[in-house]
Amino acid sequence: MINELKQKLLANFNDVQVNIPEDNRMTVNTKKESLLSLVSYLKNMGYNHFAMLSCVDWIDDKEFELIYIISAYPQDDEHYQDKEKKNILLKTRISRVKAKFITIISIFENAEPYEREIHEMFGIHFEGHPRLTPLMLERDYKIPPFRKDFDTNKYVENTFGKVPSIKERKEGKK
Amino acid sequence: MRELKLYFGPQHLGMVGNFSITLQVEGDRIIKAESNPGYLHRGFEKLMEQRTWIQNFPLVCRINVVEPDHMELIYSMGVEKLAGIEVPERGKYIRSIFCEMARVASHLFGAWAYANMLGFDTVANWAMYHRDLLLDMFEELTGARVYHIYLRPGGVRRDFPDGFTDRLVKTLHKIGGKVPDYNATFFENRLFQKRAEGIGIVTRKEAMRMGAVGHTLKATGLKYDIRKIEPYAAYDHVDFNIPTRTGGDAYSRLLTIRDDMIESVHMIFKLIDKMPKTGEVYTKTPNPFKWKIPAGEAYVRCESARGELGLYMVSNGGTNPYRVHFNTPSFNNGLTVLEKALEGESISDVGNIMISLYVVAPEIDR
C-alpha cells in the first residue's frame, strides 16, 4: 500500500526523494517549487487531513525546513483502512536569508493558523496569506524568537534586566 | 443595522480560560469572529531546546492544564521512538489505565465548565467533587494532584501501590453511580437541551474541510480516534467502542463527551482485568545528564481527551532536543473551527459553543 504510493509519487514527480523510515510514516523531500502540486496531488489521492505545519531552523545549512504533515480521515463510518494509519511528512527547504514561501490555504483551509504561527516565530513570509498579523507575541522582536540565533538569556537581560529596582528609582534612576 | 466590534475577552464570565475573541456583531448576531490567543504563551517549545530530554517533563505537562498526562505520554512516545526504547508489557497497561483516568478527570472538568457557564451549579459542584475523587487516586499513585510527571521514556515511574486497583474500581463505581443523576439534572434535562440543541452546528463536510479532530468529528458520526487507528500503549489489547452522534451541534458534542467518559470507565475495568500481575514497569534509560539520543526525527500521535494530539520532534544527536513542536487539538479547533462555528450565532452562545468545541487556551499558546 505505502510502496504503491511511493511508486506513484516517483512516477509523477521528478524531484522527490521518498523514504519509508517505518511502517506508517513516509517522508517526501521535495524542492520548494513542486510542493504545492504535491500537496494537492496527495489531497486528491484521499489524504484529506492536514495535521500540522512545522518548521526547523537548520542554522548551519543556512536553511529553514518546512514540514507539512498530512494524513487521511476514515472513508466510512464502520471500518478502518490502512490509509488512516499513514502519516506523510512533506519536507522542503527554503533559504534562511530570503525567508519566503507560498501559502497552501487554497488547498487546506486549516493551514491558516499554522502558517501564521510559523510567520511569527520564524519570520517566514507566506505569500497570499490573508492575515499575517501577530498571533501570540506582544512585543516586537528583532530576530523572530524561535530562530536558533535568538538568545533567550540575552533577550531577558536586555528587556527585563534593565528595569531599575525600587531603591534605584527612589534615587532618581529611570 | 449598525455593525459593532465586541471584545469577548478573558474577563468575560462566559469565557473559560485565558482566551479572547473579537466579534463583529449586528445586534445580537455574530457576523465574524476572530480568535485571539496568546495570553498564556510561555515559549515552551523554545525552552525545551535548552533542557535535557528528561528535564523537559515539568514543562511538557504544563502545556495543558486540564489534562497534563497525555502531554507526558506524547513526549515519552516521541523520545522512545527517537531512542528506540520499548515499553514493558505491564508498563503499557499502567500507561493506558493512567491515561484513561486522566480522560475521565478531564471530561469531568469539561462538564464542570459547561454546567457552570450555563448556571447549572449543582451539576458543576458534583463534577468538581467527582474529579477531586480521581485526583485523590492520582495523588496516591504519583504524589501530585494535577501535574503528575508520572510517565517517563521507557514506561512509568513506579508500579501501582498495593490494593490501588481495588480502590480505583471503588472510586469509579462511586462516580458511575451518579450517572443517572447527571442525566436527570443535566444531560437529559429539557432546560439544557433547549440551550444546546442546534447551536454551533459543524457538519461533517465542514469539519473535515477545517481539519477538525476529537469530539467535533465524533459528533458528526465519524469514528476518528487514534486509539483505534494507530493503537499505542495497551489499546490494541482491549475491546472498546467509540461513541458517536450525528447532530453535529453543541448538544451532540456534549453527549459524545459523556459517552466517551462512560466508555473510558468500562475500559479501565477491562484493562485492570487483563493486566499482567507482575513484571517490570519501565525500561532502564541512561544517565539523564549524559543521555544522547541519535540524530533523527519522529512524528508521533495519540488521542487526548480533546482529540488527535501530535508531536514532531527532531534530535541532532545531542543531550537536548533540537526542535519540539506540539500539534494540539485545541490549536486547530480553537483557531479555525471556532471562528467558523460562531458565524451567525448569538452572543449569548459564544461560551456555549467554545466549551462544546472543547477549546483549552493553554494548549493553543504553549
Strand B20-26 and strand B3-8: the pairing is: antiparallel
For residues B183 and B337, the answer to whether their CB atoms sit within 8 Å is: no
Which of B155, B153, B145 is CA-nearest to residue B57? B153
Instruction: Tell me, yes or no, whether A166 lies in a domain.
Output: no
Instruction: Tell me, yes or no, whether A164 lies in a domain.
Output: no
Per CB-CB distance under 8 Å, the chain A contacts of B206 are: none
Q: What's the alpha-carbon Rg for chain A, to the nearest Å?
A: 21
Chain-wide mean pLDDT for chain A?
Answer: 85
Which of A46, A13, A45 is CA-nearest to residue A28? A13
B166: CATH: 1.10.645.10
Per-residue pLDDT of chain A (174 residues; tens, 9 = 90+): 777 778 787 777 788 888 888 878 888 888 888 888 888 888 888 888 998 999 999 988 888 999 999 988 888 777 777 777 888 898 998 988 888 888 989 888 888 899 999 998 898 998 888 888 888 888 778 888 888 888 888 888 888 877 777 887 888 766
CB atoms B230 and A24 under 8 Å: yes
Q: How far is A32 from chain B (nearest CA, A)?
A: 20
Disruptive mutation site among A49, A52, A122, A143 for chain B (greatest number of B CBs within 10 Å): A52
Q: Does B154 touch chain A (CB under 8 A)?
A: no
Q: Does B50 touch chain A (CB under 8 A)?
A: yes
Q: How many CB pairs under 8 A join A and B?
A: 89
Disruptive mutation site among A81, A109, A117, A136 for chain B (greatest number of B CBs within 10 Å): A136
Per CB-CB distance under 8 Å, the chain A contacts of B314 are: 56
Instruction: Tell me, yes or no, whether A86 lies in a domain.
Output: yes
- Which pLDDT score, from 0 to 100, does residue A174 have? 61
Instruction: Tell me, yes or no, whether B137 lies in a domain.
Output: yes
Q: Which residues pair with B32 in a beta bridge?
A: B24
Instruction: Tell me, yes or no, whether B22 lies in a domain.
Output: no
- Which pLDDT score, from 0 to 100, does residue A173 have? 66
Instruction: Tell me, yes or no, whether A163 lies in a domain.
Output: no
Instruction: Tell me, yes or no, whether B87 lies in a domain.
Output: yes
Q: How far is B326 from chain A (nearest CA, A)?
A: 9
Per CB-CB distance under 8 Å, the chain B contacts of A113 are: 331-332, 335-336
Domain residue limits at A97: 2-158
A41: CATH: 3.30.460.80
Domain residue limits at B268: 43-365
Instruction: Tell me, yes or no, whether B195 lies in a domain.
Output: yes
Residues of A with CB under 8 A from a CB of B: 24-25, 27, 48-52, 54-57, 67, 69, 73-74, 77-78, 80, 84-85, 87, 89, 108-110, 112-114, 134-138, 145-146, 150, 152
Instruction: Tell me, yes or no, whether B10 lies in a domain.
Output: no
Give the torsion through C-alpha atoms of A75, A79, A84, A85, to 10 deg. Answer: -170
Q: How many helices (H) and strands (E) does chain B have?
A: 16, 8
Chain A residue with CA closest to B361: the answer is A136
A61-64 long-range contacts, CB within 8 A, separation 24+: A61/A93, A62/A95, A62/A96, A62/A97, A63/A93, A63/A94, A63/A95, A63/A96, A64/A93, A64/A94, A64/A95, A64/A96, A64/A99, A64/A122, A64/A124
Would you call A44 exposed, middle or buried from its count of C-beta atoms within 10 A (0-12, 13-18, 19+)?
A: exposed
Per CB-CB distance under 8 Å, the chain A contacts of B331 are: 113-114
Which of B137, B157, B160 is CA-nearest to residue B76? B157
Chain B residue with CA closest to A71: the answer is B211
Q: Does B62 touch chain A (CB under 8 A)?
A: no
Which of B268, B251, B310 is CA-nearest to residue B71? B310
Give the Å distances, CA to CA, from A109 to A102, B32, B37, B262.
14, 17, 19, 34
Over chain B (366 residues), what is each successive 10-residue block's mean pLDDT?
83 77 89 88 88 89 88 91 89 91 91 87 91 92 89 88 90 91 89 86 88 88 87 87 88 91 92 88 85 89 90 90 91 88 87 86 86
Instruction: Tell me, yes or no, whether A167 lies in a domain.
Output: no
- Which pLDDT score, from 0 to 100, does residue B355 have? 86
Instruction: Tell me, yes or no, whether A133 lies in a domain.
Output: yes
Would you call B339 exposed, middle or buried from its count of C-beta atoms within 10 A (0-12, 13-18, 19+)?
A: middle
Please tell me which of the candidates B208, B217, B223 has its beta carbon nearest to residue A48: B208
Would you call B53 exposed, middle or buried from its count of C-beta atoms within 10 A (0-12, 13-18, 19+)?
A: buried
Number of domains in chain A: 1
- Which pLDDT score, from 0 to 100, does residue B105 have? 92
Number of domains in chain B: 1
- Which pLDDT score, from 0 to 100, does residue B132 have? 92
Distance CA B215, CA B363 (A): 16
Strand B307-315 and strand B296-304: the pairing is: antiparallel
Q: How far is A93 from chain B (nearest CA, A)?
A: 15
Per CB-CB distance under 8 Å, the chain A contacts of B45 are: 146
Q: Does B335 touch chain A (CB under 8 A)?
A: yes
Lookup result for grid cell 471500518? A79
Per CB-CB distance under 8 Å, the chain B contacts of A89 are: 297, 299
